[in-house]
Structure 1
Amino acid sequence: MITPPLFTRELANPIVTPGGPSWRRAVSFNPAVYHDGQQYWMLERCAGSLRPFICQLGLLRSDDGIYWEIATEEPVFSPAMCGSPIGSVQDPRVTRLEGRWWLTFAYRPYAWSSNPTGVGVPESHETDFPKLPPLPECEAAGSSNVANGRSDNLTRSGLAVSDDGKSWSFHSWITPANIDDRNVILFPEKISGRYAVLRRPLEAASSSIWLSYSDDLENWTAPELLAKAAHPWENNRIGGSCPPIRTDAGWLLFYHGVETTDSSAKAVTYRMGAMLLDLTVPRKIIARCPSPIFEPETYYERVGLYIPNVVFPTSCLLEDDTLLLYYGACDTSICLARASLEELLSLLDRHPC
C-alpha cells in the first residue's frame, strides 16, 4: 500500500524501551524530541503499569539522537500538575516558539485500566479508585448514557511551558472539559498574527483534523475543519502527528490514519500520511498523498505489549535535508526513521489538491 518507501529505519531500533524506574517499567512511547543547540531531549509518554494506566512524561537526553539515557529520577510532567494524581498525561508534542518551549498534551482526570488482547485495541475500563468523586448528578440518576465512561473523565488537551526544556509548568487549557479533544499540536510560529493549533474534537467528527486560533495562548476560537478521512487506510479516524514543519512549499503536516481491519477483534493498523498546507491560510490543503508514507513493517512495529500494528509519529526534526522521525511502536517502545525532505516534497508535488 505504501507509495513509495521513503523512510529508512534506524538499525538500533527500538531506541528507547521501558524499564528502570517503577514509573516507566511497563511502556515508553509517543515521544516529543527537541534539540537545544547542545543536546537532544525527549519527553516520553510512559507508565509503570497498565492497571491502572497512569501515564506521565519522563525526560531523556542524548548526544546523537539515537542513544538515550534517563535525565531525571522522577517524571517531569505528571497528571498531578494538571489537577489529579490519579489521572493520565499523554502524547506530548513540543514546539519552540518566541524563545520558549511549549508542550501540548492530552489529559484524563482519572486513568483507565487496560487488558491487552494481543490482536487489537485493549479491553479497557474505568479504574475503581478509592474516594473517586461521585458521578455527576444526571448520571447517578441514570438519565445519562455515557458509552465511554464518566462524562467528567473525557480527554482534554492543555499547554505547558518551559524556559530551559527541562523543567515544565502547566500554562492553560486549550480545549474544554466537556468534549474529548486530543492530538492538539501547536504551530511553531504565528499565522497572520495569531497562534494556531491542530485539534481532533471527537464530538465534532471522529475522523477529522480541525484548526483553532488564539491571540494569547489561553482563549481559542471554535474549531474549523481542515481535513477528513478520505481513503480506506484511514477509515477509522485521522489526527495530527508531529508539529508542522515550515518549508518553502508550505506547512509539511504528517498525520496518522487508523484503519479498522477486524471490528470483532478491535484490530486496527496505524499508519502515517502527509499533506502540505498553505503558509498563510493553513486550512487550504495544497497537496495530500493518497497512500500512507510510513506503516508498520518490522517485528517491533507489528508486535508489542499494548496495541499491535502501530506506528505513531509525534516528533520530526529537520537537519539540513534529513527528516528525523520519532515515533511510538505498538504503544510499547520508541523508534527513529529518516527520510529526505526533498524527496518527500517531490512526492507531494505529484498529488496536488
Structure 2
Amino acid sequence: MSAELLTRSPHNPILTGDQWPYPINSVMNAAATLVDGETLLLVRVEDRRGFSHLTVARSADGETDWRIDEQPLIAPEHHYEEWGVEDPRITWLPDENVWVIAYTAFSPRGTMVALARTTDFVTVERLGPVVMPDDKNAALLPCRVDGDYLMYHRPSLRSEMPGVWCSRSTDLESWSDERRVMGPRMGNFWDCKRIGMGTPAIWTEHGWLAFYHGVREAVAGDLYRVGAVLLDLEDPAIVTHRTQEWLLSPHEDYERIGDVPGVLFPCGVVVEGDALRLYYGAADTCLGVAHGSLAQITQHLLGCPPE
C-alpha cells in the first residue's frame, strides 16, 4: 500500500549532467521551492574534480523545460567550504521575508552545517557554519516555535546516539538546546543502519510532515530509501508517527545504475494544494521527482506508530 503513495514522473530523470550549460560530472540532489509561480531547484552539482557546488534550475511545471543558470549560486569560497558545498535544503521564512538555505560545507575540518539566505536566488548572504563538525543533513522548520527557529540535523562523530537531532535559535546564527528526535531502527528494518532528515517539514493539521532517508546495508552496498514522519505541532522534536515501510526505493535503471548505485536521496518538496512533488537524487547521477497526495500520505502516517 505505502509504495503507491509516491508515483514517479514519466519525465524522470528530470535533470541529468548532459543538460548542464557547463562541463560537470553529475547532478546529485536538489532543494526545492516555489518562486513567482515557478518551481526552483537548487541543485547539487559535482564537478570533474569531485567537488560540489549549488546551481539554480527553474521550470514552469516543475518537471520539464528547465532553465539552468550559467553560474553556480553557491560555490566553495571560504575555508570551511574548501572541499565543496553539498546537499541543500530551502526553507521560506515568512516572518523574515527570506529563503534560508541549509547546506553541508566540506573541508579538511570535516562536514559542517552552514546557512545562507537570499531574497532572489541571484545573490546570497552567507551566515557561515552554525554547528561543529561532523554534522550534516540540515533542514529548518518554516516558522518559530515558542520564539525559536528549529533546525534538524545529523551529528555523527561527536554524538554517541546516531540519528536526527534538533537545535533551537533565536537569530539563525547561534544554535543550542540539542535534542534527539529519532534514530535508526533496530533489527533488519530498511532504515536500520543510518537515517537523515530529507526535506523541510510541511505543516498539516495533524503535525509537521517531513520525508527522510534511511539506509540499510546490503550485499551489493548500501541501499538508500525514502520514508516519512509526522512531528508534533507544539513540540516538533517529538515524532508522533513514522512509516514502518519505505515509501520509495531504488527500482528504475537511473536509480540503480550510476556513480553510487541504489541511492534515493530526498532534499526538496513542493506542495500546491493537495498535490505534492518530492525531488530526489538518484544514484548520485541524476534527479527524479515523485508525485503524491498530501492528504493520503498524512492519513497513511496516522496509522503508523512513532517508531
Give the TM-score band, short-chain normalised.
Answer: over 0.9
- The residue aligned with 1:11 is 10
Equivalents in 2 of 1:106, 1:155: separation in Å?
6
- The residue aligned with 1:227 is 182
Shift of residue 13 of structure 1? 0.4
Q: 1:103 to 1:340 in 2, by over 3 A?
A: same
- The residue aligned with 1:118 is none
Equivalents in 2 of 1:245, 1:5: separation in Å?
20
Whether 2:113 is the aligned partner of 1:157: answer yes
Shift of residue 70 of structure 1? 4.0
One-letter code aligned to 1:342: A
Equivalents in 2 of 1:234, 1:85: separation in Å?
29
Unaligned runs of 5+ in 1: 110-151
Equivalents in 2 of 1:21, 1:92: separation in Å?
18
Matches within 5 A, 1:202-221: 202-203=156-157, 204-205=159-160, 207-221=162-176
Report which stretch shifted further, 31-40 or 196-205. 31-40
- The residue aligned with 2:52 is 55
- The residue aligned with 1:44 is 43
Shift of residue 3 of structure 1? 3.2
Q: Which has the larger radius of gyration?
A: 1
Shift of residue 167 of structure 1? 2.0
- The residue aligned with 2:103 is 105
Equivalents in 2 of 1:70, 1:168: separation in Å?
19
How big is each residue's C-alpha offset from its partner over 1:21-47, in whole Å with a ceiling of 9 and x where there is no partner? 586521112101111123221111002
How big is each residue's C-alpha offset from its partner over 1:327-348, in whole Å with a ceiling of 9 and x where there is no partner? 0000110111101111111111
Q: Secondary structure of the equivalent of 1:19?
A: helix
Whether 2:25 is the aligned partner of 1:26: answer yes
Whether 2:34 is the aligned partner of 1:35: answer yes
| Percent sequence identity over aligned pairs | 32
The number of aligned residues is 301
Asked if 1 retains the 8 angstrom alpha-carbon contact of 2:80 and 2:109, the reply is: no
Equivalents in 2 of 1:328, 1:340: separation in Å?
20
- The residue aligned with 1:240 is 197
- The residue aligned with 2:87 is 91
How big is each residue's C-alpha offset from its partner over 1:162-213, in whole Å with a ceiling of 9 and x where there is no partner? 011332231232212xx21000111111111101000100021474100000
One-letter code aligned to 2:292: A
Equivalents in 2 of 1:38, 1:278: separation in Å?
30
> Which structure: greater strand fraction?
2
Equivalents in 2 of 1:173, 1:326: separation in Å?
25
Query: Which of 245, 258, 262 is equivalent to 1:309?
Result: 262
RMSD of the alignment, in Å? 1.8
Unaligned runs of 5+ in 2: none
Shift of residue 83 of structure 1? 3.2
Asked if 2 retains the 8 angstrom alpha-carbon contact of 1:6 and 1:339, the reply is: yes
Equivalents in 1 of 2:206, 2:80: separation in Å?
43
Shift of residue 223 of structure 1? 2.0
Q: Secondary structure of the equivalent of 1:272?
A: strand
Asked if 2 retains the 8 angstrom alpha-carbon contact of 1:273 and 1:292, the reply is: yes
Shift of residue 293 of structure 1? 1.1
- The residue aligned with 1:124 is none
Whether 2:282 is the aligned partner of 1:329: answer yes
Q: Secondary structure of the equivalent of 1:30?
A: strand
Q: 1:249 to 1:24 in 2, by over 3 A?
A: farther
